[in-house]
Structure 1
Amino acid sequence: MPTLTRPARALLGSAAAATLLLTGACANSNSAAQGAAGSAPASAGAVEPTGDIPEITGSTLVLRVDYTGGFVTPAMLATRLPMISVYADGRVITEGPTTKQYPGPALPNLQVQHLEAADVNVLVERARSAGVQNGVDLGQPGVADAQTTRFTLLTEQGVQTVEAYALAEASGGNSGLSAGQVRDRDLLSDLITALSDLQTTLGPGRVKEAVDYQPAEIAGVAMPWQQAEGDPAQTETPWPGPALPGKPLGEGLEMGCVSADAQAAKDVLAAAQNATAITPWTSAGKKYTVQLRPLLPDEHSCDDLMKRA
């Protein structure tokens, strides 16, 4: 994994624009697929970090939009994918098109694109201008069972987070929100629109063609397998990873989570190529349904998933 040549002090900002500058180049970019970003010039009048900023590597999360809560199953809460994740080395990971075929594939269609450092900065400044900062009050609209949209941004002041409950569902005068809260929510909705179409936002040719994301680690949420009425017959498949069901996900839930890295992750990914979302996986004489979740560069265990659920 290429790393930026500077640690936390690589996060510098213009005193005027407060722009996040990834001034350290990815020093050892030995693979085009890794998509290490090039150097961005340091600006005059840089400010010192004032918050808790991690050491910056290529896998440091810079910007993310993801979702929490909502009326979904516990397994979906644990395995839900972010809308977009942008990393310090320019990687942008999103979920690609999905098939309507049933049963669907065992693995989600994760795609990775690559940006230059200057374009990462453009997205950071766009998120900052949209109001992604700690302490923003977006109100609590009277909508039941909606999900919360969470925005995470790394700045020279540290990690900034803002959460908007029912962002898509609540708007206008009947939402119970103040005019200022509606305005702030509209800015965040516009940010989602911009992040959903990077070619338009950044300009033609600025975003490299998407390729399949190849995870180094993978998690699986396991629950007892049951044959649902009307489901097509499935072939039992030996589970090649850590023993199922794994670490319990919650009291009273018949499900657990396991994670695999190194060779075990490769074995799970290889077996999943011939599996579906309802494949009965066998482990220690029992059958399980396993929802597979490739781990992103800043994730390394089931605990990371549960922290964001």
Structure 2
Amino acid sequence: MTTTSTVRAAALLGCALVLAACAQEGADAGSPSSSSAPLPSGLVLQVAYTGGFTSPEELATRLPLVSVYGDGRVLTQGPQIEIWPSPALPNVQVQRVDEATVRDLVGRAVEAGVAEDGDLGEPPVADAPTTRFTLTTDEGTTVREVYALAETPDDTLTAEQAEARARLRDLQDELTGLTAGPAEPYVPQTVAAVVAPHRGGDPELPQPDVAWPGPALPGTPIGPGISCVSATGQQAADVLATAASANALTPWTTPDGARWSVTFRPVLPHESGCADLGG
């Protein structure tokens, strides 16, 4: 699926080429300056999974694979320690790149076909996720979605569909493999908590109850059997500090004696809270 036309794709490609030219030394005196086509201040480029066969909690709290911002921040999922129960908090890392690199990534996304609307095929694969590419330039925001991008058998596609998918796969690999220097943990200003009634846990792995330090649970319903609350400011700091020593099986308790299971989702810089979750 797409929200753009071929004409729009051509315009975006032209814009990306102009931006790249502006970043080069020795540009013609008559060329537009970088200030004439400023980068968006927020999200510029993102790759994320949506849908697929998984739990409602996973669908609500799944993080994008990579998010690139106009100020040079690149947020990705870092490695997670392989233990069970797993840590309560996901490992989100932030790197920083310069403006020229952001502009180059925008150009690569356009060249890879994010702004195109050609047929990508309907592969006969069940319950696979859809890969969503989001691109924002001064021309606007475009979204392209590809079902079963990683799982598609080549013999189910036309040559044109296979080539278009290959370009998008290459872009995804490039973005998720981007190494731009030291990474550091991302500390969100807001953290969302997806909440469900605690079902007793694993009797072979009993976990101590932990008092919930955030806003009142269970919050606003967002899906089958789950609700969501967002903590900001000091509440977010308290939740993050407490969750740092908790795990996926921790029972969270409230003053009324209720016990809850909580799955945490750091809210990204362009998001506001529970309303932005899902997919």
**What is the TM-score normalised by the length of structure 1?**
0.78
Please tell me whether the aligned partners of residues 13 and 46 of structure 1 are also in contact (alpha carbons under 8 angstroms). Answer: no
Task: Kindly tell me the number of residue pairs found equivalent between the two proteins.
Answer: 262
Instruction: Note the C-alpha offset of 1:235.
Output: 1.1
Aligned match of 1:280: 251
Match of 2:233 in 1: 262
Measured in 2, the distance between the counterparts of 1:292 and 1:88 equals: 26
1:64 lines up with 2:36 in the alignment: no
* Counterpart among 168, 179, 190 of residue 159 in structure 2: 179
Aligned match of 1:210: 183
Distance apart, 1:171 and its partner CA? 3.5
Cα distance in 1, alignment partners of residues 161 and 204 from structure 2? 46
1:190 maps onto 2:170 in alignment: yes
1:20·1:124 contact (CA, 8 Å) conserved in 2? Answer: no
CA 262–21 in structure 1, closer or farther in 2 if over 3 Å, else same: farther
Displacement of 1:181 in angstroms is 1.0
The equivalences for 1:1-309 within 5 A come to 17-19=17-19, 44-45=31-32, 56-57=40-41, 60-133=42-115, 135-173=117-155, 175=156, 177-199=157-179, 207-250=180-223, 253-283=224-254, 284-306=256-278, 309=279
Query: Matches of 2:14 and 2:115 in 1, distance apart?
Result: 17
Q: Tell me the amino acid that sits aligned with residue 269 of structure 1.
A: L
CA distance in 1, matches of 2:85, 2:15: 53
Contact 1:13–1:43 (Cα < 8 Å) also in 2 = no
Identity of aligned residues (%): 47
Structure-2-length-normalised TM-score: 0.86
RMSD: 2.6
- Give, in angstroms, the shift of residue 230 of structure 1: 4.6
Q: Secondary structure at the match of 2:95?
A: strand
**Structure with the bigger percentage of helix:** 2
Q: Deviations over 1:60-86 (max 9, x none)?
A: 000000000000011100100110000
Whether the aligned pair in 2 keeps the contact of 1:113 and 1:208 (CA below 8 Å) is: yes
Task: Determine the C-alpha separation between the residues in 1 that align with 2:148 and 2:74.
Answer: 25
Gaps of 5+ in 2: 1-11
SS at match of 2:17: coil
Structure 1's 135 and 230: CA in aligned 2 closer, same or farther, altered over 3 A? Answer: same
Runs of 4+ in 1 over 4 A off after TM superposition: 12-16, 20-23, 45-49
Residue pair 2:132, 2:143 contacting (<8 A) in 1 also: yes
Question: Secondary structure of 1:275's match?
Answer: coil
For 1:249, what is the secondary structure of its paired residue? strand
**In structure 2, how many angstroms separate the alpha carbons of the residues matched to 1:242 and 1:97?**
29
The 3-state SS of whatever aligns with 1:75 is helix
Q: 1:28 — aligned with what?
A: none
What SS does the corresponding residue of 1:198 show, helix, strand or coil? coil
Q: CA deviation at 1:21?
A: 9.0
**Distance verdict in 2 for CA 1:234–1:168, change over 3 Å:** same
Q: In structure 1, list runs of 5 or more residues that go unmatched.
A: 1-11, 24-40, 200-206
Conserved 8 A contact 1:19-1:124: no
